Amino acid sequence: VGTIEYAVRADPGGKPVDVIDAPRRLWICVYSPDRENDREVVMNTALGLLAAVSDARSPRVRDRELTLWWGEIVDQGEQLRVIGFPQRLLYAVHKILVPLVEFDSRINFGDYEFADTGAMPLVGYDYGRIVAYGDPFAAPADIGGAQLRSAEMRAPSPIAVRRHPMPGLTTTFGPVYSLEGWSDARSSVLDAIYDLTAASSFASLRRMITTDLGITVTQRSGPEFALGRLTAGWLTEAADGDPGCTVGIELRRDMAPELRYVVLAHELAHFVLHFPLLLAAQLVEQASWEMPALENVWHAALAATLPTYEELERNADQLAVNLLIPPRYFPLRQVSAVHSVGGYGPPDPHHLVWHFLQGLFPNTAEQSYSWVNWDEHERRAAAQVAGQLDEDLGGQGLYDRMLGAGLANERGDTAGLQTAVGKAVAQIASSTFDAVTELGGLGPADQAQRAAALIRTSGASTAPHLPRDLSGLAASREILAPQRQADHPPKRLPLVPTRGGRRLIWRSPVREEPAADLATWQAREPERAIVLYREPPPLP
Ligand SMILES: [Zn+2]
């Protein structure tokens, strides 16, 4: 603490620059200035006292490093000054410095967060060597026997926001999720979120997601990759005998570490709220191999019933924000009513949302706010909160989106969206499962006819808007036309890339035949369209 690094670098005035580590806390004397040039007056007094330290008989007093600080602050319009001392000072040294503690009209003293004090290095003492810190543009000089130098402060490392471990779930779930298995897991996750007492950490949330939910969390890079996304594995049979799939969360690798927690919370929210869409999409993807007409029924169902991209995302954000601001704090107006900040009155509850979030984001995490910069703090909060009104999602960063979601929780108007989205998701899933059963019993010609009838009655009018991070709803694949044209929409043959020699060879998850190149597969089944899954989940 208070270590001074003597750099070889010079300031614009040609004086050496000392790099000084800012302490976390400082013991300060606050006074009201009675005269002009009071920094100079304090400095001269301090230099005289440090000379006395250097002249002390006892090496315990002499042999030390010491920085004294000075700053200007404004408290409710009043101009004040602070003189700062190291938190722990040998009594013999303290006794020498007493004239500084009793400076002018002292109005307060005590132990404060360094960031609250607005202090800068005033004078330094290093085993007898005395330094005065001054204007970096001033020419080299001696002041009262001390060398005039410049000080550069190294800020203390950001204060970590206190995180609590994510409470584990009472049972474990997955890894294969049917609708019913998901529904049980969802209740358990919602209970855990409800019990949160503080924001958790990325490691802790990831542990719950991987260990208790059996969802894999992987990191990936790539320029077009979103911050995160939810993925489905191949359809298989869940423990309850129903069709199900595994779930994965992919996170962008090059994100700021603080954001990983927020993005993971958002993707978990998509799982909790929208998994039936993911499962239905995977079911359609695979069932379309044998009944290609199903795909159009699915698109019609999405176009008719799927909430907008914006609604799905806001819905996920409004759940995710509870992992940042625990639900027990809402509504924050109750917290606000019992909370008063240094003579400024109760804070605006909307600004409290901002306060909760700012420490969890990298751009704002290093800023520690307190009574000194409270005005500035409230100005920023007010501006950002006001900026959320009527802002569309496309123009918002992650922080703004979470702020918007927190404000919606504060207003208590998230239930409408929650109900509407929940209903739509359930309806799309059940109509899709029904369509699969119904078309599955028909021959190709009847399938096409029945599918057309289902589309007519769906009331679809517009194209669906899928959230980018529900990528399972739009599988990344390429369809090649069959070699021999059939009457009806052709059945499909799925292929996934597999290792083998220099040429790209393919394996089919639904065929016994060994892996082969594309031409060989096309020759084997000329009447089928070929679906190439270039980035498939691992085969079951
Ligand atoms: Zn999303």
Task: State the distance from the centre of ligand 1 to the C-alpha of 141, rounded, in angstroms.
Answer: 61
Task: State the distance from the centre of ligand 1 to the C-alpha of 201, rounded, in angstroms.
Answer: 20
Task: State the distance from the centre of ligand 1 to the C-alpha of 288, rounded, in angstroms.
Answer: 26
Task: State the distance from the centre of ligand 1 to the C-alpha of 171, rounded, in angstroms.
Answer: 26
Task: State the distance from the centre of ligand 1 to the C-alpha of 465, rounded, in angstroms.
Answer: 12
Helix, strand or coil for residue 499?
A: coil
Residue 174 exposed, middle or buried by CB count within 10 Å (0-12, 13-18, 19+): buried
Residue pair 522/466 in contact by the 8 Å Cβ criterion: no
Task: State the distance from the centre of ligand 1 to the C-alpha of 252, rounded, in angstroms.
Answer: 13
Q: Minimal CA–CA distance to 360: which of 408, 313, 405, 328?
A: 405
Task: State the distance from the centre of ligand 1 to the C-alpha of 270, rounded, in angstroms.
Answer: 6
Task: State the distance from the centre of ligand 1 to the C-alpha of 313, rounded, in angstroms.
Answer: 5
Task: State the distance from the centre of ligand 1 to the C-alpha of 401, rounded, in angstroms.
Answer: 11
At 171, the amino acid letter reads: T
Task: State the distance from the centre of ligand 1 to the C-alpha of 314, rounded, in angstroms.
Answer: 8
The model's pTM? 0.68
Q: Minimal CA–CA distance to 246: which of 279, 205, 274?
A: 279
Contacts of 236 (CB under 8 A, 6+ apart): 176, 243, 244, 245, 246, 540
Residue pair 438/290 in contact by the 8 Å Cβ criterion: no
Task: State the distance from the centre of ligand 1 to the C-alpha of 414, rounded, in angstroms.
Answer: 17
Reading the chain (540 residues) residue by residue, the pLDDT tens digits are 345 555 456 777 778 878 787 787 888 888 888 777 788 889 999 999 999 999 999 988 998 889 999 988 877 777 888 899 988 888 899 889 988 877 666 777 788 877 777 788 999 998 888 999 988 778 888 887 788 988 877 765 544 556 677 777 888 998 999 999 999 999 999 999 988 888 888 989 999 999 999 999 998 876 666 778 898 999 998 989 999 999 999 988 877 777 888 889 999 999 999 999 999 999 999 999 999 999 889 988 888 888 888 899 999 999 999 999 888 888 777 666 655 444 455 667 777 777 777 777 755 433 444 444 445 555 666 666 666 555 555 556 777 788 889 889 888 889 999 999 999 999 999 999 999 999 998 988 899 889 988 888 877 665 555 555 565 556 678 889 999 887 678 899 999 988 766 778 899 989 999 989 999 999 999 999 999 988 776 655
Question: Tokens in use for 416?
Answer: 């409408």
CB atoms closer than 10 angstroms to residue 277: 26
Distances 507 to 25, 282, 289, 417, 496 between C-alpha atoms, Å: 64, 19, 15, 43, 5
Q: Minimal CA–CA distance to 488: which of 454, 440, 452, 448?
A: 448
Task: State the distance from the centre of ligand 1 to the C-alpha of 99, rounded, in angstroms.
Answer: 61
DSSP conformational letter for 177: B
Task: State the distance from the centre of ligand 1 to the C-alpha of 357, rounded, in angstroms.
Answer: 19
Measured between alpha carbons, how far is 68 from 51 in angstroms, rounded to an integer?
13
Task: State the distance from the centre of ligand 1 to the C-alpha of 147, rounded, in angstroms.
Answer: 59
Angle CA 155–123–154, to nearest 5 = 10
Q: What value does the CA radius of gyration of the chain take, rounded to a whole number of Å?
A: 33
Task: State the distance from the centre of ligand 1 to the C-alpha of 231, rounded, in angstroms.
Answer: 12
Alpha helices in 366-414 (DSSP H): 374-387, 398-411
Task: State the distance from the centre of ligand 1 to the C-alpha of 187, rounded, in angstroms.
Answer: 20
Q: Minimal CA–CA distance to 151: which of 67, 83, 65, 48?
A: 67
Task: State the distance from the centre of ligand 1 to the C-alpha of 311, rounded, in angstroms.
Answer: 10
